[in-house]
Structure 1
Amino acid sequence: MNIHTDKVGIIGSGSWATAIAKMLLENVSEINWFFRKESTIKQFKKNKHNPRYLDEVEFDISRINFYKDVTRLVKESDILIMVVPSAYLPDILSEIKTDISDKYILSGIKGIVTDKNLLVAQYLHTDFNVPYENLGVLAGPCHAEEVAREKLSYLTVAAIDEQQAAKFAYLVQCDYIFTTLSDDIWGTEYAAVLKNIIAIAAGIAHGLRYGDNFHAVLISRAIQEMKRFVDTVHPIHRDIKSPAYLGDLLVTSYSQFSRNRTFGTMIGKGYSVKAAQLELNMVAEGYYASKSIHKINEKYKVNMPITETVYKILYDKVPPARAFTQLTKKLR
């Protein structure tokens, strides 16, 4: 893979996709970028920034090929970086009228395909015949807003083959982005899914006015819960204290930029799920993930009190205060 000549296409136009585009243009001469609306493309070209996200990032638009037709973008790209909310991924992929099985695909999606309860890598492999050897996962801890400001950040790039992981990493690493490599695509993806659920729990606790002492216990128990689950679902040697697991959990649970924590805070303060979603005006992946993990865990039966508490609040409509009173007893 020659990073100076390969054609890289981004499918997604939100804040994380915009941050990835900024990283890519540190390393490649040009990118292909899919936007659903022609009006957005026109605004982008006029103002030289994404009109909806990270508008402080100015782009050299001569280095961006804009596409409204996702099939055409796929045909004209060798590498695809998918950065759409997981709930919308099946709809986007259904619009692609060409084979993607020979593409190299890096997933920046921190969610799960909810209608099938599959990780993104699993979904691309089982439903679209993309070999696992062609797939990579981009994980945190990393918020788009800090990438926009060129704050030093660390990314984990996971792939089955370390050489392939390194090739993907070359696309995004730069002066302000350091990368580490991993061969644990399943654990890395599941960790990215679970940390969003835990961040909702942290937000609910904040909304209910629990203090820092409780938050510390919540997160320390959460990393144990994450380890139990990923070790059961995909038992390989992994260091759960690594940035892709513990680091991403911490930043998502504590950061002001975390949409999942913000969503949880609104739920803790008494917002309904629908009202919180409308006010947030962004997708909180943990909402969808909590239902999928609940379904998956019906098979594995891992002890997951925090994740189950979030599910009960969001889907069984158990009042947050009551649910957390019960949770506090389980965290002793």
Structure 2
Amino acid sequence: MGYTIDRDARCAVIGYGSWATALVKIILENETSVGWYIRNRDVLEHVKRYKTNPRYLRDVHFYTNNLKMSDDLDAVVREAEVIVLAVPSAFLKVTLEPLTEPLKDKFIISAIKGIIPGDYLTVAEYMNRTYGIPFDQIGIVTGPCHAEEVALERLSYLTMVCKEIGNARTLSEKLRTSYINVSCSTDIYGTEYAAVIKNIYAVAVGIAVGLGYGDNFLAVLISNAAMEMGRFLEGTYPAPRDINASAYLGDLLVTSYSQFSRNRTFGLMIGKGYSVKTAQIEMSMVAEGYYASECIHQINKRFGIDMPIAETVHRIVYENALPADAMRRLTKKLV
């Protein structure tokens, strides 16, 4: 075994969006001290003074004596052994830009369900190539778990993924609460790409709803999306995995159906006639499916896997195809 995480390893969360805020809430249930990098000074001062995030999950109140908050990235990273990345993938580069503190002895957890735009890399791949972090020092936290329901302490399920199952089990204890169940996995590649691809399918579902398709069609669309996801994972990186597990199918279902799904909302707006740019402007949060669509399109040029749903979304959001026409053609390809 390579890198081993100590049970008392200190955690720090990078980011101040809804999922970052939810993760801070979860980890604080198990740790006496948690670092939190909030690069927006107004948000930082508000949390310190009022004990809530003014922009996301405002109903979550923090016991700030247990929080080591700062807008100094180096200071936050220096004090922790486990670094949880929880910013939109499009902003990861700029977020980490100020960092001079070495990461070689840190364990990096990606809570980002997205692709690094332009690099066509997942966060784990990007951290490995850019910062030289070995994959046995990288973990993924994933699963059908919306931040809004965490804030309400509704029962939710996460999957902690590490190359070494022992590390996954250790880290799972930092996430397990009375309302969070945690399972463990070693499928870093599969769970991370599944979390990316499901965002594309949620956009497709939103487009279909916006166009007036009903529940019967949505059931067919999502079941075909699950099969398409399985083909992509098996065709690009075969490994023992159960595509029906919550980290794969469960995450796909909640992102496709939930009122909290920003990707579904993004697709819904496009289906109702919004342009891509207008939909992005109207939304207060990033829809990862937009960036994921281009990435998967580029990756699949090498593999040629049959992915009609993903390609339909790409034609709509990147090639200006009319949603109604593109979805009509897709209906002939589903089973």
Picking from 180, 185, 207, the partner of 1:182 is 185
Query: Which residue of structure 2 lines up, in the alignment, with residue 95 of structure 1?
Result: 98
Specify which of 136, 139, 144 is matched with residue 141 of structure 1. Answer: 144
**Structure 2: how far apart are the matches of 1:159 and 1:214?**
36
Q: By how many angstroms is 1:93 displaced?
A: 2.0
Q: Does 1:120 align with 2:106?
A: no
Matched, 1:244 2:210: no
Structure 1: gaps (5+ residues): none
Instruction: Return the alpha-carbon distance in structure 1 between the equivalents of residues 10 and 163 of structure 2.
Output: 22
Residue in structure 2 matching 1:279, options 282, 298, 312: 282
Q: CA deviation at 1:99?
A: 1.5
* TM-superposed deviation, 1:22: 0.6
* Structure 2 match to 1:293: 296
Q: Is the 8 A contact 1:106 1:168 kept in 2?
A: no
The answer for the alignment partner of 2:107 in structure 1 is 104
Residues 1-332 of structure 1 correspond to what in structure 2 (within 5 A)?
A: 1-3=5-7, 5-332=8-335
Residue identity opposite 2:314 in structure 1: Y
Shift of 1:7: 2.1
Percent of residue pairs identical = 50
Tell me the secondary structure at the aligned position of residue 332 of structure 2: helix
Question: What displacement does 1:185 show?
Answer: 0.5
TM-score by structure 1 length?
A: 0.98
Q: Distance in 2 between matches of 1:146 and 1:284?
A: 18
The amino acid of 2:42's aligned partner reads: S
Letter in 2 for 1:46: R
- Per-residue Cα deviation, 1:210-233 (whole angstroms, up to 9, x for no partner): 000000000000000000001111
Give the residue type in structure 2 aligned to 1:283.
V
Q: Over residues 218-250 of structure 1, what are the superposed CA-to-partner deviations in whole Å (9 max), with x where a residue is unaligned?
A: 000000000000111110111100000000000
Amino acid at match of 1:64: L
For 1:144 and 1:25, how far apart are their aligned partners in 2? Answer: 15
* CA distance in 1 between partners of 2:102 and 2:50 (Å): 34
- Per the normalisation by structure 2, the TM-score is 0.97
Query: How far has the Cα of 1:56 moved from its partner?
Result: 0.5
Q: Aligned pairs, how many?
A: 331
Report the alpha carbon displacement of residue 2 of structure 1 after superposing the two structures with TM: 4.4
Find the aligned partners of 1:324 and 1:183 in 2 and give their Cα distance: 36
* Conservation of the 8 A alpha-carbon contact between 1:141 and 1:243: yes
Report deviation, 1:305: 0.3
Deviation at 1:80, TM superposition (A): 0.2
Amino acid corresponding to residue 30 of structure 2 in structure 1: N
- Structure 2 portions without partners, runs of 5+: none
Which residue identity lines up with residue 245 of structure 1 in the other structure?
Y
Q: CA RMSD in A?
A: 0.9
User: AA paired with 1:209?
Assistant: G
Residue type of the alignment partner of 1:66: M
Following TM superposition, by how much is the alpha carbon of 1:330 offset from its aligned partner in structure 2, in angstroms?
0.7
Query: Which deviates more from structure 2 when the two are superposed, residues 30-39 or residues 299-308?
Result: 30-39
